[in-house]
Chain A
Amino acid sequence: MRAIEPWVEDPLRTFLQESASRVVLLMTSAGQVVAQHGFTRSMDVMSAAALGAGIVASSEEIGRIVGDAGLGAQAHQGSRQGIVLSPFMTPVGRWIALVVYGPETSLGLVQLFLGRMVTDLRVAAPVEQVTRPVLAEDFERDLNASLRSLFGR
């Protein structure tokens, strides 16, 4: 497990232990990766984050069109594994969790412990976090620093 923000580690570790999920990706609603578990290649993480954020944004837009602002969380059941994509609020902004799970657990358990992780994250989040604008000149450096944090290289 790797996290850019240290306060994310404990809630995420607990979630992984209790839900028995295989892969977890936490990202901001813009697709910026916050933490990951189970990915081995940085390219996969970046692609999954971008796609996950895009799916959530698309779903919410469909929800807005049909007059239901609650659309967003979704579950996909495959033949060998399932995927949960769930947006949630934290004190530092809106995040998205992408969870891949196998037959050793269930959608109900993943949803249950995902809800608890969100609660834990809200408690663990720093009271004040200085947000700064994303500047083009900082982007590549920040991206590389994030990838080093997430993959340890």
Chain B
Amino acid sequence: MSGFLVEALDQLSRADGVRGALLVSADDGLVVAEAAMEGIEAAPVAALAASLAGRLLKVAETAGQAPPALIHLEATEGGLFIAVGEGGLLLVAITTPDANAGEVRLALLDGAGRLS
């Protein structure tokens, strides 16, 4: 795997409260690379995260807004962060409920920047 992809995933997976990090093909919803996905099935997360990101991008487009750089889905038992990178890639983080959202956002945006 390319060094910059490994770096982006490693940095993200080291952030506080990140249970897993994924690089996902936005068009296919397939896993490109993954890190620290203990107890989490990567393929379903990738497929559903890509679907969610695709729909939200369409919503933004329909509303005449700029595409979102980052998507944050907050759930009772954790969170899902998706950063939209260049080249049809998504950087995805699955977090615990007490994760430091600010740190995760920074790591995601930095990682997504490395993908371009």
Contact = CB atoms under 8 A, between A and B. Distances in A.
A106 B54 CA distance: 10
A107 B29 CA distance: 6
Nearest to A82: B28
B28 A106 contact: yes
Interface string B18-53: 000000110111100000000000011011101100
Judged by DSSP, the binding face of B is helix
A112 interface: yes
Nearest to A20: B51
Size band of the A side of the interface? Answer: under 10
A100 to B, nearest CB: 15
Interface string A24-46: 00000000000000000000000
Contacts of B25: 108
Interface of B: 24-25, 27-30, 43-44, 46-48, 50-51, 54
A111 interface: yes
Interface string A86-124: 000000000000000000011111011000000000000
14 contacts: A77-B28, A106-B27, A106-B29, A106-B30, A106-B47, A106-B50, A107-B28, A108-B24, A108-B25, A108-B30, A108-B46, A108-B50, A108-B51, A109-B51
Contacts of B48: 109, 112
A145 to B, nearest CB: 38
B31 to A, nearest CB: 8
Contacts of B29: 106-109, 112
Nearest to A113: B47
Contacts of B24: 108
